[in-house]
Structure 1
Amino acid sequence: MNLIPRLSKGRWAEELAQQYLIQRGLTPLTQNYRCKWGEIDLILRDGNILVFVEVRYRQHQQYGGGISSITAQKQQRIASTAQHYLQQQRFVQLPTCRFDAVILSHSATNTAPDILWLKDAFRLT
């Protein structure tokens, strides 16, 4: 029995990831920020740091884990979208930024997902 409706798995994973991060002291700012360059699942504050979060859900590991799906191309799209967000917010002083990933996966059927929070999951070179 699948506990997650098929069409809402991504949304469900993002909500669960956001609650997980809130419980760890982060403050939510925006969900599903979109522009012509892409989308950022979650944007939060961790103290003075602005955190852009990519959420990945994998029901099975047969196609690779969630982190392997965040390719260099995906990272670049996230970075371009983050740059757009920063420009739109018109910060007086640009905040320190971090790119995190939250990976949700199931190790057994009908159990709560395992959650892995990767702080500073990637950096732009």
Structure 2
Amino acid sequence: MNNKEKGSLGEKIACNYLIKNNFHILEKNYRTKIGEIDLIAFKDNKLSFIEVKSRNTMNYGYPREAVNYKKQKKIIYTAKQYIMYKNIKNIDIAFDVIEVYLRDNNINHIENAFCVN
């Protein structure tokens, strides 16, 4: 399985996990010229922008470690564009990371993994 296929599988697993946990999926792979957000979901009056990272092994560290400062800035900028485009107001915002461990089917949902500075 190549990296694109692993990523797609991880996003599908994460999406199913969110639905089972009462999130409403608003967008999948939301793209702008600047960046992409894997999943945008809504639950309990909170809009979550979610980056999904999948791994077969720990050879390259924890999946969350791939969401570095540069990646966070792209996600934040893309989220701001989404909020403006959809004219969203008066709602809590969160930036989450979901780690998907493909080998053992484990999921780690890190809520509020980073914030807007």
TM norm structure 2: 0.93
- Matched residue, 2:93: 97
SS at match of 2:19: helix
- Matched residue, 2:116: 124
- Matched residue, 2:77: 80
Pairing 1:42–2:34 present:
no
Identical pairs, percent: 32
> How far apart in 2 are the matches of 1:8 and 1:61?
18
Offset at 1:112? 4.0
Q: 1:13-56: CA deviations, max 9, x gaps? A: 10110110111111100000000110000000012100000000
SS at match of 2:9: helix
Equivalent AA in structure 1 for residue 8 of structure 2: R
Q: Mind listing any 5+ residue stretches in structure 2 that lack a counterpart?
A: none
CA RMSD after TM alignment: 1.3
Q: How many residues align?
A: 116
> How far apart in 2 are the matches of 1:8 and 1:52?
21
Pairing 1:54–2:51 present:
yes
Dislocated runs of 4+, deviation >3 Å: none
Highest Rg: 1 or 2?
1
SS at match of 2:59: coil
Offset at 1:60? 1.2
TM norm structure 1: 0.87
Equivalent AA in structure 1 for residue 105 of structure 2: P
- Structure with a larger share of its residues in strand: 2
- Matched residue, 2:68: 71
> How far apart in 1 are the matches of 2:17 and 2:56?
18
